[in-house]
Amino acid sequence: MDQVTPRDVEPRLRGLLDLIAAGTPVREPGLDLAHVDASGAALAGGTAPADAESGGLPLAGADLSRARMEEADLSGANLRRASLTGAVGRSTRFVGAILEEADLSEADLSGADFAGVTAGQVKFASAMLEDARFGQAAMRFADLSGALLDGANFTEADLWGADFSGADADDTVFRDARLDEAKLADANLTHADFEGASLTKASLAGSRLRGAKFTGAKLDGADLSGADLSDTDLVRLNLATCRLRHARFAGAWLNGTRMSVEQLGGAVGEEVAGAYELAQASYLALEQNWKSIGNHDAASWAYKRGRRMGRFHAGAQARAAWAGRDGAGILRHGYRWTADRFVEWLCDYGESLSRIARAFALLIVVFAGLYGLTGGLIVLEGPEAGPTYNPIDLMSYSALNMMTANPPDIGLKPTGRVTNLLVGLEGAVGIILMGLYGFVLGNRLRR
């Protein structure tokens, strides 16, 4: 940057003061105010009176579009309804200025200081505001849509109803800020800091909040539908009134967080997007959270969904192995998919007693049919002595053999190698199913 001397700055400031002193509306697009000290202190030796409301330059309604004002000092200036569209004001000071309804759209104000400004309904649409400081600013219903806000600081700012839609705000600080009813939909808020902020009824639908910090934040009624909350700190927050349809939670910290299954709309966002491995991680985070607050039914639902995502992921890998003609991959991933599918059918991953009972009933019928096909059950006494094909005899023997280690004598006896092999196999399967049933029942009773 070229060295600027007081002699260079003075004509710029003096020309602006002369315009103000003459009572002429300032209409100077492209005005060069770079490095000018136009603060209240500078007015002491000037010809323009200080603004009665703000104590700085009286520039209400001024047209300063495309003005150059790098490192200028406009502290305390009254810029109400002024136009600074397209202005270049890197590191400019607006401390304590009045910017109500001013238009700073598409301005380059990187590193500017807006601390304590009064800026209701100000427009910063598509402006460049990286590392700008807005501490304790009053900016209700401000328009920051599409703005570049990386590293900006809004600590304790009043941003009620402000519009951040589509803004790029990596590492932005909103500590203790008021963002009630603010619009932050589809914004990039990666690693943003919302500690202690109020986001009541705010819209964050579709926003990227990966790694964001919400410690102590208020999110009553906030819309987080489709938001990416991966690796986000949501510990001990009350999200029970939030909209969480298809939100993403892979790697999120959710211990003690209040929320319900119904809020998710049936699936997390990773599952909807077909990212099954990430979906499995998302359901794991939810499962652990619901366990921490004692909601075991919800934890069971998340566990089963997570296991299902593992199966879906194995299926996708098996299809990819098939396309790549990877025989070992097909066997490995195909086996995992098959095993998971069988466990899901048998007992819903150890969570369903009714499915185990269904397996019992089905296998009793199957083995009864096999006994009939082999003709290996015989009636020992009476007029019906000999091989039996009576369905009642076959079902009775199959049921007793399945559910007891030593079936009682009911006048039926297996004969032949094949039938005896079936009897032993059915007994082993029955023991396994009884053990599994007891395990699942014990889990349910403990809950």
Q: Give the tens place of pLDDT for each residue, 198-223.
A: 999 999 999 999 999 999 999 999 99
Cα 287 from Cα 295, distance rounded (Å): 9
Comparing CA positions, the residue from 116, 193, 118 lying closest to residue 149 is 193
Integer Cα distance of 221 and 240 in angstroms: 8
The stretches of 273-385 forming alpha helices (DSSP H) are 276-292, 296-323, 327-347, 353-374
Lowest mean pLDDT: which of 185-189, 229-233, 367-371, 378-382?
378-382
CB contact at 8 A, 156 and 136: yes
Query: What values do phi and psi take at 276, rounded to 5?
Result: -70, -35
Torsion 277-280-284-290 (CA) sign: positive
The string of pLDDT tens digits covering residues 287-337 is: 999 999 999 999 999 999 999 999 999 999 999 999 999 999 999 999 999
User: Predicted confidence band at 401 (pLDDT cuts at 50, 70, 90)?
Assistant: confident
Name the nearest CA neighbour of 216 among 189, 244, 238, 184. Answer: 238
Q: What are the beta bridge partners of residue 377? A: 414
**328: three-class secondary structure by DSSP:** helix
The pLDDT of residue 25: 63
pTM of structure? 0.81
Q: How far apart are CA 177 and CA 158, in angstroms?
A: 6
For the chain, give percent helix, strand, coil, nearest 5: 35, 10, 55
Q: In the prediction, which pLDDT does 2 show? A: 46
- Where does 353-446 sit in CATH, by number? 1.10.287
Contact 177, 157 (CB under 8 A): yes
Q: DSSP letter at 51?
A: P
Q: What is the mean pLDDT of residues 41-61?
A: 67
Q: Label residue 22 by pLDDT band (50, 70, 90).
A: low
Query: Band of the pLDDT at 6, cuts 50, 70, 90?
Result: very low
Buried-state track 182-201, b at ≥16 Cβ within 10 A, e below 16: bbbbbbbbbbbbbbbbbbbb
pLDDT tens for each residue of 70-92: 988 999 999 999 999 999 999 99
Using alpha carbons, select from 152, 154, 155 the residue that is nearest to residue 127.
152
DSSP 8-state symbol, 50: P
CA–CA separation, 244 and 231 (whole Å)? 16
Interatomic CA distance for residues 63 and 16, integer angstroms: 12
Task: Say yes or no to pLDDT of 8 above 60.
Answer: no
Both tokens of residue 285?
């985070």
Q: What is the pLDDT of residues 274-290, one digit of tens each?
A: 999 999 999 999 999 99
Query: pLDDT higher for 1 or 55?
Result: 55
How does residue 40 score in pLDDT terms, banded at 50, 70 and 90?
A: very low
Start-to-end CA distance of the chain, whole Å, equals: 69
